[in-house]
Structure 1
C-alpha cells in the first residue's frame, strides 16, 4: 500500500514512539498514541495495528533488558508465568479469528473501571508494598488463571493488555510495581512475537514506518526503566492510576 513518509511524519512517529514506549514500559496504554500516529501516515487500522507490534516488541525487549540490568527481573518466574500467558494468547488468537475485536470493548472498559476503583479505595489489593514477598502458582493457584486471562486478552487484542498483566502480576502474585513491570515486559514481548509472526505471514507489517516508530519506542523504554528504578511506589501508583483513567475515557468515548 502507499503511505506518506516525509521528515515531518518521521519526527512525529519517533516522538509518538518515544512517549508510547515510556508509558507502556511504566504502565500501559501507549498504543492509544502510537496507533493514531500510524493511521495519520495513511494506514488502515488493521495495518496500523500490525505495524505497531514492531515497536511494542522492541520496546518490551528494551524494558526487559533494562529491568534485568538493575536486578528487578525475577528470572526464575519467567517460565512459569509465560506458560499460562501463552496458552491464553493462543486461545485468544483463535477466538479473534471468529469474533470481531469490538466484542471485547465492554470487557476492557469494565476491567479498567474496576481497576481504577480498586486503586482509589483499596490500593493495597493491586499494589503491594515494595518489600512484599511474591507468591508462586503453587501458593496461589488462582493466579495461574489470572495470567491465562491476561494472555487470552492479549491474544485477542493488544489495546490495554499492559493493565491486565499488571492486575494479574501485582494483584495475583503480589509483585511490587517495579518487578511487575519487568515481568510485564517479558509477557508483552512474548505476546508480540506470536502476534507479529501472524501479521508478517499475512503481509500486514509496513517495516519502514514500524521501525521508525520503534526507534522512538526503544529510547522511551530505556528512559522509562531509569525512571521506574528511582521512583517511589507511590509515584508509580499515581502514574498507573492516571493511565488507567485515561484508558477508561478512551474506551468509553471511542467509536
Structure 2
C-alpha cells in the first residue's frame, strides 16, 4: 500500500514513539498516541494496529532489560504469568487480524473507553497497599483470568493494554507499581511476539514506518525505566491516574 513518508512524518513518528515508549513503560496508553500517528501517515486502522507492534515489542524489551538491571524484575513469576497472557494474545491477534477496518475502528474506541473508565473510577484496583506481599495464582486464582483477558486485549489491540496488565499484576497479585511495570513489560513483549507473528503472516506490517516509530520508542522506554526507579510509589500512582484521564479523553475525542 502507498503511504506518505517525508522528513516531517519521520520526525513526528520518532517523537510519537518517544512519548509512547515513556508512558507505556510507566503506565499504559502510549499506543493511543502512536496508533493515530501511524494512521496519519495514511494507514488503515488494521495496518496501523499491526505496524505499531514493531515499536511496542522493541520498547517492551528495552523496558524489561532496564528493570532487570535495577533488580526490579521477579524472575520466578515470569513463566506462570506468561502462560495465560500468551494464550489470550494468540486468540486476540487472530480476531484482530480478520476484522475489517470499518469494524475494528469502533471496537478499538469502545475498548479504550471502557478500560479508561474502569481505571478512572476504581483506581484502587491497581494500587496495592504499602507493604503488600505479592501473591501466587494459587492464592488468587482470579488473577489467572485477568492475565488471560490482558493477553486477549493486547493481542486484539495494543492501546491501553498496560492498564489491564497493571490491574492484574498490582491489583490482582499485589505487586508494587515498579515491580508490576517490570513484569508488565515482559508480558507486553511476549504478547507482542505472538501478535506480530500473526500480523506478519497476514502481510499487515509495514516495516519502515514501524522501525522509525521504534527508534523513538526505545529511547522513551529507556528514559521511562530511569524515571520509574528514581521516583516514589505515590508519584507513579499519580502518573498512572493522569494517564487514565488522558486515555479516556483521547478515546472519547477520537470518536
TM-score exceeds 0.5: yes
Establish whether residue 18 from structure 1 lines up as the match of residue 18 from structure 2: yes
- What residue number does 1:241 align with? 241
Deviations 1:9-44 (A, max 9, x none): 211111111111001111111111111211222222
- TM-score, length of structure 2 as denominator length: 0.92
Contact 1:24 1:162 in 2 (8 A): yes
Is the Cα–Cα contact under 8 Å of residues 89 and 152 in structure 1 kept in the other structure? yes
- Give 1:204 shift: 1.6
RMSD, matched Cα: 1.7
Structure 1 gap ranges (5+): none
Q: Secondary structure at the match of 1:227?
A: helix
Under a length normalisation based on structure 1, what TM-score does the superposition of the two structures give? 0.92
Residue in 2 aligned with 1:74?
A: 74
- Greater mean deviation of Cα atoms: 96-105 or 213-222: 96-105
Could you tell me which runs of 5 or more consecutive residues in structure 2 were left unpaired when the two chains were aligned: none
Partners in 1 of 2:211 and 2:111 — Cα distance? 31
Q: Which residue of 2 aligns with 1:117?
A: 121
User: Is residue 90–residue 195 contact of structure 2 (8 Å, CA) maintained in 1?
Assistant: no
Displacement of 1:92? 2.6
**Aligned residue pairs: how many?**
251
Structure 2 residue aligned with 1:213? 213
- Please say which of residues 142-151 and 55-64 is displaced more in the overlay: 142-151
The equivalent of 2:158 in structure 1 is 158
- What is the match of residue 191 of structure 2? 191
The CA deviation at 1:181 is 0.5
Contact 1:129–1:233 (Cα < 8 Å) also in 2: no
The alignment partner of 1:144 has SS state of: helix
What residue in structure 2 maps to residue 126 of structure 1? 126
The residue matched to 2:132 in structure 1 has which SS?
Answer: coil
